Structure 1
Amino acid sequence: MTTIIQADNLHKSFPTTTAIDHISFEVFEGEVFGLLGPNGSGKTTLVRLLNGVLTPTSGRAYVFGKDVTTDGSWIRARTGVLTETPSLYERLTAKKNLSFFGRFYGITDSEIPKRTDEMLSLMHLSDRADEPVGGFSKGMKQRLAIARALMHDPPILFLDEPTSGLDPESSRQVEDIIQELASDEQKTIFLCTHNLSQAERLCSKVAMLNTGKILAEGSIQDLSRRLFSAVPVEMELLNEPSPAVIQAVRNTRGVTVDSVEGTTILFHVTDKELIPSIIRAVIQEGGDMFRIAPQDYSLEEIYFTVQRQGGMTV
């Protein structure tokens, strides 16, 4: 896989605070990479560093193999950035907003109409193209801001809290657009968010940032394996389990029963390979098996476990 963003011991301090504290990570081409952390954790500062807007205090960062310290202008011409509070000219129409920003990106006058129409169509705003943006809903403005960041067709898109303040329907529309950009347009998406459920749906890899430090990095599956020694399992029977069935599960080596709720037994097992022996034990005691399913740990569980532990090996 091709590395498209790389940070090496990157550090940024200001007179009264350290915003980014000697972090290292890499993002591969075509990934949806989630940078997770609360407000004030350093996410926005990191985006500015990676786009060459801020200069690192120490360490290095590369985008497309170019040094952000010396090649910021070259990098910014090839990245799209959506800030948490994007600015649009509300008296201008959607089409005129995109045309205006397109010229800043260096798109020729002959290309701007075509590119503007493509972006409005992608964001499902074609029917509102000639209306002033001031009358748009917040979700429509957010979609238009994404279109603005995409006008010059950048390979990388930095999104800072792209669904902040949106209602559930508008949030899902923006998430669908992000998925489409990654899967259909082959964009690399650098997503800054504190919305854990959103990151779980969208991201192939995440890094957890707090007080400028990366506490953990990896795919959700990889972080689960590194954090938890036991696998949660849900077993559902056709009828409520008898005491003998429950005891058979408890007596199986490597099993810890968490709860019995109606026809469902919830337990943890130290190894998935033990599940067939659990099934045999239940059937032997007369249990009518309907369904058994190992469960994945949610990103929320992973995130708060990492926070409690104060991090893990990156």
Structure 2
Amino acid sequence: MFSSPRRAKPHLWICVLTLGVYLSSVPVSAKPDSLREVTDGNWEEILSGEWMIEFYAPWCPACQQLQPVWKEFADWGEDMGVNIAKVDVTEQPGLSGRFIITSLPTIYHCKDGVFRKYQGARTKDDFLSFVDGQKWKAVEPVSSWFGPSSFLMNSMSALFKLSMFIRRCHNYMTEQLGIPVWGSYVIFGLATLFSGLALGLLLVFIADFVFPSRRFSSPDYYQKKQTMEQARLIQQQEDAHEADGEDDDDEEEEEEDPDEVWKRRRGSPEGRPEPRGQGFSDEALRKRVVGKRNEEEEDDEEEDT
């Protein structure tokens, strides 16, 4: 009659064990990783809100020492309302050029698109104090010229991506295709030469199209040029005719009577014009010329005799 409670104990233990097995079989959701990864594809997300971003490389010893501290700091990020992120510069060369990473690890603080470089100690308490105490306000922000979204930094990002692409091509040609290192350098040198020539030619065409020469851009340029050529030829012909006319005049003067020559010149026998008011009349001038000729003839006859 009193044995029923004793018999119930095995059933109770069975129920407890069953409940324990059930609870242990239920999957427990893991805590999500609070450390975010920033890439070239999603980096624009850091332009809104507050962020602490670490730039690192897996081969860097200082970066390896900082990783545990950075993960502990990331666990506090949700409580403080700050996004904690990291960037692997070996996998994201564009971001390395966009932020001009010259040393590792490098830490940036970002608040609504305004970036400041962290220069303090690298402990969890210092990180918490920097964010919670708003010590970042005392740090001078990065100039807008060097901001990650500026044109200059976009160009730097493209340049770093190009350099990484060239490096990968070099590794592929030397390791996979078996091309010697010097052969790879020759290929890249020729590619650079021809691409530079093509780019220079394209720039010349663009400049000539946008800023054409005024001389050739005028619609009546060729018409003016042709008119000037015709005028030059006509002037040459006129000069030639004038020269021929002077020669003819000289020949006519030689054939004319001396009296007519002196009448036309109305000057001295030597051919020099006389001063005004001292000229001779036509009759006197004729007698003077004839007398001079007679004297010359007499002198010639005397010389002959």
**Shorter-chain TM-score tier:** under 0.3
Using CA pairs under 8 Å that are at least 6 residues apart, name the structure with larger relative contact order, 1 or 2: 1
Taking structure 1 as the reference length, the TM-score comes to: 0.20
Greater share of strand residues, 1 or 2?
A: 1
Largest Rg, 1 or 2: 2
Greater share of helix residues, 1 or 2?
A: 2
Taking structure 2 as the reference length, the TM-score comes to: 0.20
